[in-house]
Amino acid sequence: MTIIDGAKRGRPGIFIVDYRDAKGHRRTPSFATWDDAKEFANKELGFRNNGKAGTVNPNITLPDFVPHCVDIWEEDELEPATIEGHLQALNNHILPYFKNARVSAPTRRDIVKFKEHLNHKRARCGKQKAPIKTGRLLQKTTIRNIVNTASSIFTIAVEEGIRPDNPAARLGRRKNKRPKAEERIQPIAVRKAMTKQERDRILVVARLLLNDLHYTALCLLAGTGLRPGEARALRWQHLDLDGSQGIHEGVPMLSVEETFKRHGRLGCTKGKERREVEIEAALCAWLRYWKHVRQPRPTDFVLSEDGGRSALSKTQLNQPWPYVLGLAGIDRWLPLYCLRHTYASILVRAGVSPAFVCRQLGHANTTTTEKYYAHWLPQNSHGALTKLGLGAAMVVPPVATTFQTPPAPEGTA
């Protein structure tokens, strides 16, 4: 909280109190005199600092404040997975950085520096050393969740009267700094998708190494381009392997109606719309075999370890992937999601209509598909120009194929 001469902001003759309230919203009330601004600042600080005076020691450190925050989160009935995520962010990132700092000590500049530190920090590789997988930079979503955890802690501190503001609140882009929609969509890098030969090696290794359940999962992802959460949410009633339902006209199709959201909850798909995905013949034959083996009910999950009652978890789906990747001879790390990019890039490279690829992937429009995968489009016509049919309308005179010596001019020897 600071008092600023209005002349510095193009408003001479007034004084501005610049601060953030308990919810993190920026406030800039103006006053005619310095004394009025000072009186308001003192009242505001006194009101907020005495909100719950005596509940928590104002000099408490971050490690000692964590148990109190956990109690508050449990009183607010947060999901256990959410509390676990907060504790993981605290133990792995926040506490190692701030150490034994007092809760009232960090400023907004400190939080900005902490976020810059996270932008250059590498993720942990886990307890097991998986082939190829190495520590990579933290993802933007992970950094946002860590900052949200810090913001939650400082919000509780404000409510307890330990500090006057939340330095981690609303720590996003400044106003009008968000890039335009066309700039936010970046083409998928070629290295993030496999070639057809690499994909085939993956499936061969999976057939030799994995059980039928995990092999079915990889084939489903590679043959439909579904997102992993959509594949896990598939039920047998969503599959029309004979093409006899609706207007499928004999074409095997599957219906994508829901997906697994964060923390394992079922919800609507990313596009918030139901879509139909055509199934390739070989994949359709394998799914018929898998259905014959399982003898499922219509509401059973296609990918399940307990007979269809519950879906395969994200951890169970991802667990064998690093080993399959290594044994297939892929010399770079690729997440399981790369099977979706591989599916799209193979179709686009083969000259398939972007409208069909867009419909299969569930994109909002073909513009999105083209921006992601346009660099895989064929660069030559492959004989497509013959479809112009100019030969039927153009008459080309015959051209002599042998060279004839012209006659010598008269009067020359």
Distance CA 93, CA 87 (A): 10
Q: What is the pLDDT of residue 48?
A: 52
Both 253 and 149 in one domain: the answer is: no
Residue 385: inside a domain: no
The winner for highest mean pLDDT among 16-30, 40-54, 363-377 is 363-377
Same domain, 173 and 227: no
Answer whether residue 56 is part of any domain.
no
Residue type present at position 365: N
- As a whole number, mean pLDDT of residues 395-405 equals 64
Give the per-residue pLDDT at 214. Answer: 95
Using CA atoms, how far apart are residues 34 and 24, in angstroms rounded to an integer?
Answer: 25
- Per cent of the chain over pLDDT 90 is 42
Total number of domains constituting the chain: 3
Question: What average pLDDT does this structure show over 14-27?
Answer: 73
- Full DSSP string of 260-289: E-GGG-EE--TTSS-EEEE--HHHHHHHHH
pLDDT of residue 150: 93
Question: What span, in angstroms and rounded, lies between the C-alpha atoms of 201 and 327?
Answer: 9
Neighbouring C-beta atoms of residue 64, cutoff 10 Å: 14
Name the residue range of residue 13's domain.
2-49
Query: Is the Cβ–Cβ distance between 275 and 256 less than 8 Å?
Result: yes
Residues 73, 28 within the same domain: no
| DSSP β-bridge partners for residue 240 | 253
**Matching residue, tokens 């949200």:** 148
Higher pLDDT, 32 or 220: 220
Q: What is the CATH number of the domain that holds 89?
A: 1.10.150.130
Residue 33 sits in the same domain as residue 71 = no
Q: Last residue of some domain: 157, 178, 199?
A: 178
Q: Can you spell out the DSSP letters for 343-365? A: HHHHHHHTT--HHHHHHHHT-SS
| Mean pLDDT (the chain, rounded) | 83
* CB burial of residue 86 (10 Å; 0-12, 13-18, 19+): buried
Q: Indicate if 168 and 69 belong to the same structural domain.
A: yes
Residues 82 and 155 in one domain: yes
Query: Shortest CA distance to 242 belongs to which of 276, 284, 274?
Result: 284
Q: Is residue 242 domain-shared with residue 313, that is, in the same domain?
A: yes
170 within some domain:
yes
- Domain-ending residue, one of 178, 196, 223: 178
Confidence of residue 301 (pLDDT cuts 50, 70, 90): very high
Check whether residue 117 and residue 173 sit in a common domain: yes
CATH of residue 280's domain is 1.10.443.10
Q: Looking at the predicted structure, is the pLDDT value of residue 398 above 70?
A: yes
Report pLDDT digits (tens) over 47-95: 555 444 446 788 899 999 999 899 888 888 888 888 999 999 999 999 9
| Per-residue pLDDT at 40 | 81
> Which stretch of 2-6, 280-284, 305-309, 400-404 has the lowest confidence by average pLDDT?
400-404
Reported as a pLDDT band with limits 50, 70 and 90, residue 284 is very high
Query: Is residue 257 one of the residues assigned to a domain?
Result: yes
Q: Verify that 72 and 167 share a domain, yes or no.
A: yes
Same domain, residue pair 144 and 246 = no
167-176, 217-226, 401-410: which has the minimum mean pLDDT? 401-410
Residue type, 399: V
The verdict on residue 356 lying in a domain is: no
Q: Which of these three, 254, 288, 319, is where a domain ends?
A: 319
Q: Does residue 349 lie in a domain region?
A: no
78 and 100 assigned to the same domain: yes
Provide the pLDDT for residue 52: 46
* DSSP conformation letters of 93-110: IIHHHHTT-BTT---HHH
The verdict on residue 402 lying in a domain is no
Residue 323 has a pLDDT of: 93
Same domain, 170 and 236: no
At 242-265, the pLDDT tens digits run 888 777 678 899 999 999 987 778
Nearest CA-CA partner of 68 in 54, 53, 55, 50: 55
146 part of a folded domain: yes
Residue 185, pLDDT score: 65
pLDDT score of 2? 75
pLDDT of residue 53: 44
**What is the distance of C-alpha 66 from the center of its chain?**
29
pLDDT at residue 176, rounded to an integer: 57
Please tell me the least confidently modeled range out of 87-96, 244-253, 339-348, 357-366.
Answer: 244-253
In angstroms, rounded to a whole number, what is the distance separating the alpha carbons of residues 108 and 168?
7
Q: Predicted confidence band at 196 (pLDDT cuts at 50, 70, 90)?
A: very high
